[in-house]
Chains A and B, each alone.
Chain A
Amino acid sequence: MYDFNHHRPGSIDAAASALSGADDGKILAGGMTLIPTLKQRLASPSDLVDLGAIGELKGICEEGGAVVVGAMTTHAAVAKDATVKAKIPALAHLAEGIGDAQVRNCGTIGGSIANNDPAADYPAALVGLGATVRTNKREIAADDFFTGMFETALDDGEIITAVAFPVPEKAGYAKFANPASRYAIVGVMVATGPAGTRVAVTGAGPCVFRLSDAESALGSGISADAVANVSVAADGLNSDLHASSEYRANLVNVMLRRAAAAAG
């Protein structure tokens, strides 16, 4: 690793000013992607602003019809949280399947979505459930938040504070994990609720996307049978050592059916 200055502010404002005061500052959330990246010397920030000491960024609460998850809440905390399990069990299930136990004990929802790895699970949850991303400056709808591979709508220095998930009537998530990295080769979130009927796919393309054919097929009720014949074109899907685009297209259908079955 190249060396850097480490900051550990106690408030969001202090974090924002530490970031603006740095030459090339980066936010350190759970570190599960950033620290390996630094170890490989693929990044050389001058400063890391560690959000780990900011209490207000952690925790889960119910707010109106939404479950609000603080940006620095770990995957493990989401997976075992009683509110999440009661209101959006599919979200708890998704969080429980991220990385491994130790990654879940450190990795955070804010860090994951800010990184927007095309194979991450959370983007499917946010888009599929129609969530809203809250930052220190504004609120951003999930549909507008994920803008491309490793790209988001966040401005420089903007800090995610929480994600608000409207409580769905039904939701289900199914994932086919890469056998080596255990990231999603394909992950599909199916949900119906205040945000409508939504289907979001991660892992398959350069960025999470909605599957409108599946959404219409599920319009009259969530079931695996309803989406049995929904297919996606392989063109434009990711292709790598582990899965060609054709295979991913097949997995989208299989995971879609499983997610629908889990939701129904």
Chain B
Amino acid sequence: MPTVSMTVNGRAVTGEVEGRTLLVQFLREQLSLTGTHVGCDTSQCGACVVHVDGESIKSCTMLAQQADGTEVTTIEGLASNGGLHPMQEAFREHHGLQCGFCTPGMVMSAVDLLNKNPNPDEGEIREWLEGNICRCTGYHNIVKAIQSAAENMRG
């Protein structure tokens, strides 16, 4: 079986995969990083969003072998030293999550947005979130959380 190596949340990992093994399967099943979720099979819901080389991608639509040699960050690795990243903190403060299932992908996507656009307006945030479906919150508090995180992260 082919072998893949990558850096996941700062740790070098190597594993045997099949051709068809998806990155999300590698993360969940081989690395037990179950914070990354699978909510659909058409690459639309965004519950599986992680960062590969700093860009948000849908890990259900990337083969593990496509991620060979990359740096992957999952929700488990977003914050350093056991605390919360400012985006996670903002989601908590503004009640940007309910059942928590879409949350990891939502947070990872939102972090990528602020990496690219540190001061998005409400319309830009809503447009960016096209690839992340939440069934609980009506997005209202997610938008507020991202606005607040943007403000805090700009300092």
Interface residues of A (CB under 8 A from B): 1-6, 8, 28, 31-32, 35-36, 38-40, 48, 50, 52, 76, 80, 99-103, 105-106, 181-182
Contact = CB atoms under 8 A, between A and B. Distances in A.
4 tightest A-B CB contacts, nearest first: A100-B131, A6-B19, A1-B20, A100-B130
B63 A106 contact: no
A52 B2 CA distance: 17
Given A6-B19, A102-B109, 9 more contacts: A6-B2, A36-B61, A99-B131, A101-B109, A101-B112, A101-B113, A102-B46, A102-B57, A103-B131
B62 interface: yes
B62 A101 contact: no
Contacts of A106: 57-58, 61-62
A105 B43 contact: no
Interface string B38-73: 000111101001000001111011110110100000
Contacts of B44: 100, 181
A105 B109 CA distance: 11
B20 A32 contact: no
A28 B62 CA distance: 11
With most chain B CB atoms within 10 A of its CB, the pick from A4, A100, A102 is A102
Interface in B16-53: 18-20, 22, 41-44, 46, 49
Contacts of B112: 101
Specify the main secondary structure of chain A where it touches its partner: mixed
A101 B130 CA distance: 8
5 contacts: A6-B2, A28-B63, A31-B61, A35-B61, A182-B130
Interface residues of B, number: 30
Contacts of B66: 28, 31, 50, 52
B70 to A, nearest CB: 10
A50 B60 CA distance: 17
B61 to A, nearest CB: 5
A6 B128 contact: no
A45 to B, nearest CB: 10
B49 to A, nearest CB: 6
A176 B66 CA distance: 32
Contacts of A6: 2, 19, 63, 65
Interface in B97-125: 109, 112-113, 116
B89 to A, nearest CB: 22
B57 A105 contact: yes
A31 B63 CA distance: 9
B41 A100 contact: no
Nearest to A47: B19
A99 B58 CA distance: 12
Contacts of A28: 63, 66
B18 A35 contact: no
Contacts of B2: 6
B15 to A, nearest CB: 14
